[in-house]
Structure formats: structure tokens, C-alpha cells
Structure 1
Amino acid sequence: MLEREPYLVVRAEIFEEAPSSRGLDALADRLHVAFEEYLALIVEYSGNELGTDPPEDPAAFSFFVADALRVSESIKQRLLELTETEIRLRAEIDVLERLLPQLRRVVERRRAEIELRRARGEDIFHRTAPDPLLGTYFSLN
């Protein structure tokens, strides 16, 4: 940020995507597998579909994933600032490998809660506790 008054002024730089290695398709495939599991867990937990098919191009897919992740804006920004597709794909794989265990635990707790409510004959759609995924992001710590 350069100035604050009377309005914000930002200096933006347009970058050309740095050339990447030939292994992009393999990396994109690895990311796709992890991202599909991530989406399936989010959909199972929340019932909300993404509604958009991811692009096939590895570079476009990497930007799509960075935008779709439920992580802090600072993490998204760091991913989006990476100027090489290969590095961005690897970073997103790393992020998902760290997020998926947390998400699996949350979804498993939700499944157990639903089964317990079913066994008791209770409404499985009513929650007594706040939704841990509603409006929150996963931590990479």
C-alpha cells in the first residue's frame, strides 16, 4: 500500500508465468486426487457443492484450487503469488496433505454424531452446537 489518503493506492505488477518442467501433468493429477477428496469431504459435511468443474490446464487448475481452499486469505495470497505453476502445484499438494487429516477427523465426528442421533431417534439435521466449519478456515499449524 502506497498511500492512505484520500483513498488507497496499490501498485500491482503483472507477471508472466515462469516456464515449468514437463512433470506438470503428473503433479496436477496428484493435486486433483487430493482436491477431489477435499471437495468430497466438504460436500459431505456441508451439503454444499462447488458448482463449477475445475479447469484441465495445470496452471488454471492451480489458481482454481488456491481460490477454492478454505484457508486464510494470507495463505491463499501466498499461493496465488507463486509465479511458477510447478511450485504452486507442489505447494497446494502440501497444503492439502496437511488439511486432509483435520478435515477427515471433523467429518468422522459429524458421521458419529449423525449415527448417534439416528440411534436415539433424534432429528439428524438439528445441531445443538455451533458448526465448526461454518465461517471458519482450517489451520496449517
Structure 2
Amino acid sequence: TGLDYSKPILKAEVEPLKDDDGDPGEVEELKRRVEKAFRRYLAILEANGVSPPKELVHYLDPAQYSYLVADMLNLNLYEKQRLLAYTSTQERLRAELEFLSQIVDER
């Protein structure tokens, strides 16, 4: 990785990072729990006049779904970056479930 400063436009070389998927059974269970809590979270938003997207893609694999949830949560930049920085799908889903549980359990 690096930047090429030899031209008037910066060009970056990047290396994609692969998520550690964790234990498949636990990850699928976490995804189901996050989906349930996320649906409740979206219902709360809708009840407060925020129109969430009507179509959520439930066929996404757990890693893709965890990134979708992290993107759609109403978090400050620091918290959102913290979620997106996890390199483990399992850890990201756990953190999302913790956040969602705090929100939906308060209602």
C-alpha cells in the first residue's frame, strides 16, 4: 500500500482486508438476533417520523449484513468507524447487537 506522488492526481494502492468469519453457527445465530433487533430499531425510527428503507436484503451473508447494519445505524462518526473497523464478522455483529439492544430495550 502507498501513495504515488509522481503525478498531479494522487493514486493509492490498497490491499483489501478479509474478515475473519468466526464460528459459522454462532455467526448465523448472531445475524438472526441482529436482524430481529434491527427490525425493531427500524420500527422505532418509523414511529418517530424517520422513513427507513422498506427493502432490507436478508439474503446477504453475515459479513455483508453486518456492514449494512453498521452503515444504517444512527451513530456518531466515532462509533460507526469503531464498528466498521472490526475485522471479525462475529465481533461486529456482537457490537451491533449490544448497541441495538440498548436502543430497543429502552422502548
More strand by share: 2
Deviation sequence 1:33-80 (CA, Å, 0-9, x none): 100000011112115131431343111110000000011011011000
C-alpha deviation, 1:24, in angstroms = 1.1
Measured on the aligned residues, the alpha-carbon RMSD in Å equals 2.5
Q: Name the structure 2 match of 1:19.
A: 21
- Please say which of residues 77-86 and 19-28 is displaced more in the overlay: 19-28
Q: Name the structure 2 match of 1:33.
A: 36
Q: Name the structure 2 match of 1:85.
A: 89
Change (3 A) 1:100 1:12: farther
2:51 counterpart (41, 48, 51): 48
In terms of Rg, which structure is larger?
1
1: CA distance, partners of 2:66 / 2:86: 10
Q: Name the amino acid aligned to 2:100.
A: L
User: Identity of aligned pairs, percent?
Assistant: 33
Kept in 2: contact 1:43–1:49 (CA 8 A)? yes
Greater relative contact order: 1 or 2 (C-alpha under 8 angstroms, separation 6 or more)?
A: 2
Give the length in aligned residue pairs: 100
Change (3 A) 1:71 1:21: same
Q: Secondary structure of the equivalent of 1:46?
A: coil
Q: Name the structure 2 match of 1:66.
A: 70
Q: Name the structure 2 match of 1:121.
A: none
Where do 5+ consecutive residues of structure 2 fail to align?
A: 1-9
Where do 5+ consecutive residues of structure 1 fail to align?
A: 1-7, 105-141
Change (3 A) 1:12 1:74: farther
Kept in 2: contact 1:55–1:64 (CA 8 A)? no
- TM (norm. structure 2) is 0.77
Deviation sequence 1:11-41 (CA, Å, 0-9, x none): 9653111131121111100101100000011
